[in-house]
Amino acid sequence: MVIGPIEFAIDRKDETAWTNDIGPGRSNVPRKAVFVLESPLDFPAGTQLKFRLTQNHGGWNSDDNQNHNLGRFRFSVTSAPDAQADPLPAAVRDVFQTPPEARSPQQVATVFSYWRTLVREWQQANARIEALWQQHPSGTSQLVLQARQTPRQTCVLARGDFLKPTRPVTPGTPAFLHPLAAQHPTRLDFARWLVDEKAPTTARALVNRVWQAYFGTGLVSTSDDLGLQGEAPSHPELLDWLAVEFMERGWSLKHLHRLIVTSATYQQSSHVTPEGWSRDPDNRLLARGPRVRVDAEVIRDIALAASGLLNLKLGGPPVYPPAPEFLFVPPASYGPKVWKEEHGPDRYRRALYTFRFRSVPHPALQAFDAPNGELACVRRVRSNTPLQALVTLNEPLFLEAARALALKTLREGGATDAQRLMLAFRRATGRVPDAEETAILLELLQQQQARFVSGELDPWQLAADDPQHPPALPDGATPAQAAAWTAVCRVILNLDETITKE
């Protein structure tokens, strides 16, 4: 659907539509239009006119996120020749109903804001003001709680049937925990009860989740259930001490993170001996450092960081990296959705900022066990499937990362292939390759380069995001070298060690 000026309302094209929305901050305001019939009508005895509005602004079933359907409208018919719409906006016309001496400052500003657009000498100022309007951020809806004046009665339902309420119940907390002091508790009272120093659960639950983020498994492995049905803590004294330390330091997450990462337990080697594996395969005794595959968002960030593409900008709205178009139209999606793929620096922002529809998760993240947005997820599962390797080899951003890493390798790696390999490998894994790894990867490099030099394959099909507009190569480099190094960098970014914390 293409939206635009009033001419789109009568161009007899379903794919175009008139919109009264001229941008954020100025939407949902009245608009007027006059339509003149191609041929005059003459019904001396009178007749009935039927107007049919076709409103496909939101797609075939009008459920798109960019809906521009009319909220309310009114038709008027006139036989006057050369009829024209009122040139004054409705808001300005309303102000004229008030005598000048009785107008409020806001009403005066409304009239002035329209009048200045008619002054020829102010064209430059008006253009600057219009440019500022174009930068106005789009608004978003937000749920807000408003307490009832008279609280709604809540009852126990017989067998869960809402048509069979039994005894009424009031807000409260379990009797075996510390008491809730308020006589008529509110949500704020409940929040204060949760973080009370006498609360035995809140600090433990949070500390356990932070521990889980670093070690892959919490001190209580069932971090989504710290109750009687969950697993007992592997180190109950440590869990209690960390919880108390956390509370006594003002609930400072920064202090908690520093405490864990500077500990001797976390800084151990993750090397596993046969004896250690047979005795404690899950490392519940913490005899070695953690070795776990990182979360989905971090996997993508590692590839972008190694290639030098990662945009470290903090904050701001979500972004739209590449994703298959079919995901956002029926039947893959309930209704058509807008996915404006980024093409500037925002394309390479951290995966934390990737926009996600609740019912349409991003496929590259979901392949690495990122949860859907339909539920809260305390503990992610970690799977190991061939599909994950296909993502890191072929997903558009991973390919772009491999190409960028190849160019960086040719530009900064040194004079020999061995030196270049050392740079690429170290950027991805944090160490230099050993002799066996070097031999295997250099052999792959020579094989791939021979295929591109011989003409068997077009190097730009692999080495360029757009083969019709290839990137500039470093001095002395050839397209065959760029393509061969791209192939090697794809392998390096696909290594288990690249996406594993150890």
Round to whole Å and give the CA distance between 331 and 423.
Answer: 45
Which pLDDT value is given to residue 63?
58
Round to whole Å and give the CA distance between 158 and 164.
Answer: 6
Could you report the average pLDDT of every consecutive run of 10 residues in the chain (502 residues)?
A: 81 80 77 86 85 70 62 84 86 92 93 92 92 84 82 91 93 89 87 90 94 93 86 93 94 96 93 90 91 92 95 92 88 82 93 89 90 85 90 94 95 91 94 94 94 90 90 90 94 93 87
Q: Is 101 exposed, middle or buried (0-12, 13-18, 19+ CB in 10 A)?
A: exposed
Which pLDDT value is given to residue 87?
86
Residues 275-321 pLDDT 10s:
989 999 989 999 999 999 999 999 999 999 999 999 999 998 899 99
Which pLDDT value is given to residue 68?
66
The residue to which tokens 């772009």 are assigned: 400
Which pLDDT value is given to residue 60?
54
- The string of DSSP letters for 227-249 reads STTSPPPSSHHHHHHHHHHHHHT
For the chain, the average pLDDT equals 89
3-state secondary structure 266-278: CCCCCCCCHHHHH
Which pLDDT value is given to residue 65?
58
Which pLDDT value is given to residue 58?
59
Which pLDDT value is given to residue 208?
95
Residues 449-490 pLDDT 10s:
999 999 888 999 999 998 899 898 988 889 999 999 999 999
How far is it between the farthest Cα atoms of the chain?
A: 104
Q: Domain-by-domain residue ranges, the chain?
A: 1-85, 89-136, 172-290, 292-502
Which pLDDT value is given to residue 1?
64
